[in-house]
Amino acid sequence: MEIFFFIGIIISSFLALLLFNKKKKSKSDIVFGLWQIVLVIHFSLLYIRHSNLIEDYPHFLGLDTPLVLIHIPFIYFYTRSVVYGNIRKKYLILSLLPFIGMFFILSVKFFILPGDEKLMIYKSQLSEEKLYSITDIILFVQCFFYFPVCYKLTKVYSKAVQSKYSNIDRINLKWLETILLGATLVFGSIFIFYFFYLISDDLNYTTISIVSIVSICVFQVVLGHYGIRHTSLFYDSETYNLDSNRVKYEKTGLSEALAKKYYDNLCEYMKVKKPFLDSELTLTQLSEQINLTPHQLSQTINQFSNKNFYAFVNEYRIIEVAHMLKDKSKNNISILGLAYDAGFKSKSVFNSLFKNLHGITPSQYKKTYQ
């Protein structure tokens, strides 16, 4: 089994080196890099415990146990740092309490023991028919709590960016949702194996350990692939994080009649000036063009169209493409070209939104009118 721990050490070390060698590191990069260092330490301690080295260095026994309780909080820290760009101190302390508590208990009960006595206790535990670990139970409780919280953070983020941006391809968190899904599958699989280990005699603890390590190694590769590619997004011009750009709905003082007037003016402006042709159009930019505050514009759109800014603008883009598809003089331009001309930046987003609005694909729509 030692080979799996060695693989884990190599993967985590490689990812940590890649991240800390980046010229521009976001907070999420730093969180991810620190997590990789913790994983290197954890895998190293597991390697020592499961190899003959533990006979020579029994004082390392138990040091890996508290580290089990730090990985799920790190997934939460990583998600929060991607979404908000920071981690609040109170959340940091609360999330680390299980790790700190377990380390303190072991310090009092186990770490102070002589090496020979530690080794004797460890071997006596291995000789038992079943290994029941309070650490594993706490780990599974963490999974059931933190993963839903992380999913909720991505959904809140998605809703917020759609209220301010007309194109969200480079700032959406589909990649992070993929990472969270992977983490759920990994730890869910470990939980299922552990459950069957407790209720049956067909699995042994060594098998559980191998499944856990292999799953985590695969997850590390996926996490590194997505994380390194996407966390640099906080240094792009299209940066968005919730703490600095959070849309707080405020009462604008607009009467319904005045808001309706603004909405009618907005619709006329959209038809005549076609600001949606700018693929980078934002709520702030459009509000400046029509002399409203972003909050007034947001309220006006939400109140009279029942849409967020993203859906409102992209509906105009779909209407523009549909109009061009009917125009035979545009036959020399591909459908995708027309979509880009109308302000879209993603083929998949365009096709999905077009079908949602018209019930058929752009190609089918074009054939209907040609």
Domains of the chain, by residue range, sit at: 2-236, 250-369
Tens of pLDDT along 101-116? Answer: 999 988 988 888 898 8
The answer to whether the beta carbons of residues 295 and 252 sit under 8 Å apart is yes
Rounded CA gap, 299 and 266, in Å?
Answer: 12
Residues in the chain: 370
Positions in the chain whose pLDDT score sits under 50: 130-131, 231-239, 245-250
CA dihedral 98, 99, 105, 106 (to 10 degrees): 150
Between CA 12 and CA 34 the distance in angstroms is 10
The pTM is what? 0.75
pLDDT computed for residue 227 by the predictor: 60
φ, ψ (nearest 5 deg) of residue 282: -120, 170
Within 8 A by CB and 6+ apart from 281, the residues are 166, 167, 275, 313, 343
- HSE-CB of 68 using CA atoms within 13 angstroms: 21
Query: 250-369, what's its fold?
Result: Arc Repressor Mutant, subunit A (1.10.10)
Structure tokens at 298: 């947001």
Cα 107 to Cα 311: distance, rounded to the nearest angstrom: 56
Interior/surface letters 321-345, b for 16+ CB within 10 angstroms, e for the rest: bbebbeeeebeeeebeebbbbbbbe
User: How would DSSP label each residue in 288-332?
Assistant: HHTT--HHHHHHHHHHHH-S-HHHHHHHHHHHHHHHHHH-GGGTT
Give whole-number Cα distances, 32 to 154, 177, 224, 277, in Å. Answer: 17, 16, 9, 38
Pairwise CA distance, residues 352 & 93, whole Å: 43
Distance CA 186, CA 75 (A): 13
**For domain 2-236, which CATH number applies: 1.10.260, 1.20.1070, 1.10.3470, 1.10.10?**
1.20.1070
